[in-house]
Amino acid sequence: MSFDLNFIGILIGAIMASSVPLILAASGELITERSGVLNLGVEGMMIIGAISGFALMVVTDNLFFAVVGSMLSGLIISLIFGLLTQSLLTNHVATGLALTIFGIGMSAMIGKNFVGIPGKEFPLLFVNLKESIPFLGPVFFGHSIILYFAFGLPFLTNYFLKKTKTGLIIRAVGDSPTSASNQGINVTLVRYSCILYGGAMCGLAGAYLSLIYTPQWIENMTGGRGWIALALVVFATWSPIKVLIGALIFGGITILQLHMQAVGLRIPVQLLSALPYIMTIIVLVVISRDSRKIKLNTPTSLGQIFYKEK
Amino acid sequence: MIKIEKRNDVSRSIYFLTPILAIFLTLIGGGIIFYILGFNPIEALKFFFITPISDLYGLSELLVKATPLCLIAIGLSFCFKSNNWNIGAEGQLIFGGIVGGGVALLFYNHDGFYVLPIIILSGAIGGMLFAMIPAILKTYFNTNEILVSLMLVYVAKLLLDYLVVGPWSNPEGFNFPETRQFSESARMPILFDGLRIHAGIFITLITVFLSWLILYKTYLGFQIKVSGLSLKTAKYAGFKGKTMIIIVFMISGACAGLAGVGEITGPIGQLHRNISPDYGFTAIIVAFLGRLNPVGIIFASLIVALTYLGAETAQIFLQVPKYTGQVFQGMILFFLLGSDYLLFFKIKFLGLKKNEL
Residues of B in contact with A108 (CB under 8 A): 321, 323-324, 326
Q: What is the pLDDT of residue B350?
A: 59
DSSP for residue A123: P
Residues of B in contact with A109 (CB under 8 A): 33, 37, 320-321, 323-324, 327
B345 bridge partner residues? B6
* Ranges in chain B, pLDDT < 50: 356-357
> Helix B41-49 vs helix B12-36: angle between axes, to the nearest 10 degrees?
120
pLDDT for A7-17, tens place per residue?
888 888 899 99
Instruction: List Cβ neighbours of A172 (8 Å cut-off, separation of 6 or more).
Output: A179, A180, A183, A185
Residues of A in contact with B132 (CB under 8 A): none
Chain B: residue nearest A97 by CA? Answer: B330
Asked if residue B104 lies in contact with residue B343, where contact means CB atoms within 8 angstroms, the answer is no
Interface test with A, best of B137, B150, B278, B281 (most A CBs within 10 A): B150
Judge whether residue A292 has pLDDT over 90.
no
Out of B152, B161, B325, closest to residue A105 by CB:
B325
Q: What is the pLDDT of residue A267?
A: 78
Q: What is the pLDDT of residue B356?
A: 46
Asked if residue A255 lies in contact with residue B111, where contact means CB atoms within 8 angstroms, the answer is no
CA distance B350 to B314: 44
ipTM of the complex: 0.88
CA distance B59 to B49: 12
Q: How far is A257 from chain B (nearest CA, A)?
A: 14
Asked if residue B312 lies in contact with residue B100, where contact means CB atoms within 8 angstroms, the answer is no
Residues of A in contact with B86 (CB under 8 A): none
Please report the domains of chain A, with CATH numbers, ordered by start residue.
2-297 (1.10.3470)
Q: What is the pLDDT of residue A253?
A: 85
Judge whether residue A293 has pLDDT over 80.
no
pLDDT for B108-163, tens place per residue?
888 889 999 999 999 999 999 999 999 999 999 988 899 899 999 999 999 999 99
Chain B: residue nearest A276 by CA? Answer: B151
Out of B141, B144, B165, closest to residue A234 by CB:
B144
Please report the domains of chain B, with CATH numbers, ordered by start residue.
2-356 (1.10.3470)
**Choice among A51-55, A209-213, A271-275, B135-139 with the minimum mean pLDDT:** A271-275
What phi and psi values does residue A72 have, to the nearest 5 degrees? -65, -40
In three state form, how does the secondary structure of B253-284 look? Answer: HHHHHHHHHHHHHHHHCCCECCCCCCHHHHHH
Look at B158 and A284 and tell me if their CB atoms are within 8 Å.
no
Q: Return the higher-pLDDT residue of B4 and A100.
A: A100
Mean pLDDT confidence for A281-294: 82
Look at A285 and B137 and tell me if their CB atoms are within 8 Å.
yes
Asked if residue A53 lies in contact with residue A114, where contact means CB atoms within 8 angstroms, the answer is no
Q: Which of residues 91-110 of A touch B (CB under 8 A)?
A: 91, 93-95, 97-109
Chain A: residue nearest B333 by CA? Answer: A98
Q: How far is B86 from chain A (nearest CA, A)?
A: 11
Residues of A in contact with B323 (CB under 8 A): 104-105, 107-109, 219
Q: What is the pLDDT of residue A1?
A: 44
Look at A105 and B344 and tell me if their CB atoms are within 8 Å.
no
Q: How far is B124 from chain A (nearest CA, A)?
A: 23
Query: What is the share, in percent, of chain B residues with pLDDT greater than 70?
Result: 95
**Choice among A260-264, A306-310, B286-290 with the minimum mean pLDDT:** A306-310
Chain A: residue nearest B324 by CA? Answer: A105
A121 touching chain B per CB within 8 A:
no
pLDDT for A68-86, tens place per residue?
999 999 999 999 999 999 9
Judge whether residue A120 has pLDDT over 70.
yes
How many CB pairs lie under 8 A apart between chains A and B?
138
Look at A97 and B141 and tell me if their CB atoms are within 8 Å.
no
Q: What is the pLDDT of residue A130?
A: 72
Mean pLDDT confidence for A170-177: 93
Neighbours of B27 (CB within 10 A): 18
Interface test with A, best of B327, B331, B332, B343 (most A CBs within 10 A): B327
Q: What is the pLDDT of residue B297?
A: 96
Out of B137, B148, B326, closest to residue A105 by CB:
B326
CA distance A77 to A251: 27
What integer best gives the mean pLDDT of chain A?
A: 89
The alpha carbon torsion through B102, B103, B107, B113 (nearest 10 deg) reads: -140
